[in-house]
Amino acid sequence: MDTKIRKILRPIEILFIVMNKTERSVFRSEFFSYLMNTGLITIERDLKYLRSLGIDIHSSKNKGLEIFGRINEQIIDEFLGIYAGINFNLKMLLFKQCSIETIMKLTLLNISAVNGIRLLIKTCADDFEFCPTEFIFAGNWGIKGLTRCRDSILYLDEAVTIKFSDKTF
């Protein structure tokens, strides 16, 4: 992907990963530097940019990066629009009348697939780790991936919550 586009996406991905991490997950700046194949100074610059938008994101000693306080929903909506516009066929999303919740789930799954981060998925019936590999649409948005060492398909309307694990695949 073009470096200019990566520069735009990187702070969005950092924010969404930190916003949607599990309680036990610890994501430090060094982790993002390794994950996104960039320097630590670049990650710190991205965090400074997020703070300039009023997002109170800081590192805690034992918890890694955390967000304190509420995030303006307009910022989340704008970031979601930017991310979806770059990574998804927006006409298809609009044609299929995707809700904001569905677009957010697609975004989280895409961030996971691109960066190789495992997800913890909670459905009405089960909780499990999931390693997404490919989006599908067959009347409903879904994603192929690995869970419990076997291929499976997760349909987005089945996912109650999606959280980032601090494990990669």
Q: What is the DSSP string of 152-165?
A: EEEEGGGEEEEEEE
Lowest mean pLDDT among 36-50, 54-68, 80-94: 80-94
Question: What CA–CA distance (Å, rounded) separates 21 from 51?
Answer: 19
Give residue 103's pLDDT. 75
Q: How sure is the predictor about 40, in pLDDT bands with cuts at 50, 70 and 90?
A: very high
Question: What CA–CA distance (Å, rounded) separates 102 from 111?
Answer: 14
Mean pLDDT of 136-149: 79
Mean pLDDT of 64-93: 81
Residue 145 has pLDDT above 80, yes or no: yes
Question: What CA–CA distance (Å, rounded) separates 32 from 43?
Answer: 7
Q: How sure is the predictor about 43, in pLDDT bands with cuts at 50, 70 and 90?
A: very high
Higher-confidence position of 95 and 2: 2
Give residue 108's pLDDT. 83
Give residue 58's pLDDT. 94
Higher-confidence position of 49 and 100: 49
Question: What CA–CA distance (Å, rounded) separates 129 from 149?
Answer: 10
Delimit the domains of the chain by residue range.
3-168
